[in-house]
Amino acid sequence: MAAPQQLTTEVDGQTMKLTNLGKVLYPQTGFTKAEVIDYYHQVAELLLPHLSDRPLTRKRWPDGTGAQYFFEKNAPRGTPAWVRTVTLPTPGSSTGRDEADFVVADDIQTVVWLANLAALELHIPQWRIGLSDTGKDPQADLIVFDLDPGPGASIVECCDVALALRELLGHYGLEGWPKTSGNKGMHLYVPIEPASSRSTSAFAKLLAEQLAEALPENVTANMTKALRPGKVFIDWSQNASAKTTLAPYSLRGAEEPRVSTPIDWDEVASATDAEELRFLPHEVLARIEEYGDVLEGLYDDPQPLPSIPS
């Protein structure tokens, strides 16, 4: 018997209607909307600590990854009353709006609701709403380094750079937590005590430039694409308050449903093949079953942001 195209169900006490369940959202693999919803439902417990109290930017593919997508900051028309929304300023918005009503995913029901909207990618800033003055002075609890391989490089080279960055962070008394980007590169999270996004950006830029100076054949901290072939670009700019990064355990809207997957330092150190660090939903769920949450403890021991020379 074919699976139903729509279903009314209860998620953690909340009744919701799931629609177009048989729609293929990843044409190359046949991965359906029902499978997207199921993955997000299963991984929500590990995803929520990273989404909680952060304004979400969604990247939606209502007709699948073979068709057009769109970014969405505002809560869409018809957002249920039980979904938390927060009005925050959006300086420099391409829409010309001064503020937006952001969705905030604090519970499993909201995660499932987003999956039903084909919000395949969930992007978050490095700051939380509760730490900030209504978003006007965002206070970050994370620093992120986005390691992006240029032509001729891969995630394997990103792993080499991540190891060097880990050592550099150690000199400042900081710890890095790696994950794949779900695309070609890596992200490295650094938990900190709340600090302004301006100061975290300055610190991230300093470290990126220090590493680029120490490893000029392997690393660039310059955004000029012509300088990237064969190198890993350390994108420190993701720490700006208006910037977002793909959340841990989020899907990617690509040809296949790859996941931004937390990995441990042993995996980083032993990486020799990019394929070994590409994970699909069933592989991520199997990893969780075997290893638990590799990012467990990320927020348990934040360190003060080191002062840098002015």
List pLDDT tens digits, range 156-192: 999 999 999 999 999 999 999 999 999 999 999 999 9
> pLDDT, tens digit, for every residue of 118-156?
999 999 999 999 987 655 679 999 999 999 999 999 999
> pLDDT, tens digit, for every residue of 22-65?
999 999 999 999 999 999 999 999 999 999 999 999 999 999 99
Task: Answer yes or no: are the C-beta atoms of 111 and 40 closer than 8 Å.
Answer: yes
User: Residue written as tokens 């072939």?
Assistant: 229
Q: Which of 12-16, 36-40, 97-101, 292-296 has the lowest mean pLDDT?
A: 97-101
Rounded to 10 degrees, the C-alpha dihedral 19/58/251/9 comes to -30
Q: Which phi and psi (to 5°) does residue 88 adopt? A: -135, 155
Determine the average pLDDT of the residues in 245-260.
98
Burial class (CB in 10 A: 0-12, 13-18, 19+), 4: exposed
CA triplet 195, 198, 202: central angle to 5 degrees? 100
**Using CA atoms, how far apart are residues 4 and 295, in angstroms rounded to an integer?**
36
